[in-house]
Structure 1
Amino acid sequence: MRTNKNQSKISELLKEKLEERIVTGQYRPGLRLDETELATEFSVSRTPVREALIQLASAGLVDIRPRRGAIVAEASPKRLYEMFEVMAGLEAMSVRLAARRHTETDLRQIQTAQAACEKAYEAGDVDAYYHENERFHMAIYQASHNSFLCEETSAMHRRLGAYRRLQLRSRGRLRSSRDEHRGIIEAIAAGDSDLAAQRVHAHVIIQGEIFSDLIASLSRLEVPKYKD
């Protein structure tokens, strides 16, 4: 059991490293990601590499093709912004229901996740904040008490995970995100579904705008070129 847990942790860490290289343009669309080469580079077996690539494929970051393996997928800034628009709509629907339907337990879970975000913010730990931020949003989805909506919103949240992580590195974004969370919780606690939806929509849509700006700036930088 311990071995399986360790392997899952290795796969997750490897996925995070690879997804950052993809979203920052270090790995260009069309690049073939060779399992053996990656296993050698990261000093791991091919099994966690394969698992990481499968997770990246489920997030739409790579395509797994017969006889070619994993290929970095094409994702234009316009396409990504469209995905953030859909994400903002799903989140707004979730928080609107959460404001109306949440229980005291639901609210405590949201507040507990926010407290962890606050702690990560004070420590200046972007990666910890990203993971606690995920807990915060998942707690809101659960508080909607609509299982289908929760499943769909969670899936989209995971698909955009790499991009949400990257935009948190923008100057001042961690503080803004924390402050936006506070406003969202305030609206949920007050049962103001319209205000909660408005605030969470703005919270998510700005992530797409920040990410588009990041990609535009990264595209002007010289990045290492990899051969297929």
Structure 2
Amino acid sequence: MKKNEGLSEQVYNYLLSQILFDELKPGEKIAEAKIAQEFNTSRTPIREAMRKLESQGLIQIFPKRYAQVATFSEKEIQDIGMIRISLDILSIKLVAINGSKAELLNLKSIAVQCLDAFRNNDGVQRRKLDSDFHKELCRISKNNLLFNMQEDLSLKIQFILMHN
């Protein structure tokens, strides 16, 4: 079973990379059989990986039919943005209480790197650093639940930024 768990995680990372680096596009069907063949495995680890991606909102599974890369409506994108803003506001309040000068300097460093990536037209690096910034803000808040929420939201936001 541990072998399947490891394989499932490998497939998850593979699919996540395909989605976040625009090799699988929104609405595109995921070829479960092809992935199973590439990894020389049964479909069980593939399905486990896809369930994880579905729980993160990156794919949609239509049982007994197919799975596809998620699509987001304008309303869903707005809702995700409002959630991010709300998490950031709460994080900032908690950082004011719990954050150290060193942590804030590290946060500033990430922001500067993100700005540099933007100026250099490095979209991949900018999206990664943007995600890192918001997660670091939550980490400094010392609220694990807030951090976990931001981590889940970050994947959706990276995906949305890739395709909009």
**Given the two structures, how large is their TM-score scaled by the length of structure 1?**
0.53
1:134 maps to 131
Determine whether 1:53 maps to 2:50. yes
Deviation, 1:67, is 3.3
Determine whether 1:15 maps to 2:12. no
Cα pair distance change 1:107/1:84, threshold 3 Å: same
1:58/1:159 contact within 8 Å kept: no
**Amino-acid identity (%):** 21
SS in 1 for 2:78: helix
Match of 1:84 among 81, 86, 102: 81
**Given the two structures, how large is their TM-score scaled by the length of structure 2?**
0.69
Deviation, 1:103, is 0.6
Cα pair distance change 1:8/1:61, threshold 3 Å: closer
Deviation, 1:141, is 0.6
Match of 1:143 among 131, 137, 140: 140
Count of aligned pairs between the two proteins: 156
Determine whether 1:102 maps to 2:99. yes
Cα pair distance change 1:39/1:79, threshold 3 Å: same
Larger Rg: 1
Deviation, 1:162, is 0.6
2:9/2:49 contact within 8 Å kept: no
Which structure 2 residue ranges, 5 or more long, are not aligned? none
Cα pair distance change 1:119/1:50, threshold 3 Å: farther
Cα distance in 1 between the residues matched to 2:154 and 2:134? 9
RMSD of Structure 2 on Structure 1 (CA): 3.4
Cα distance in 1 between the residues matched to 2:95 and 2:13? 30
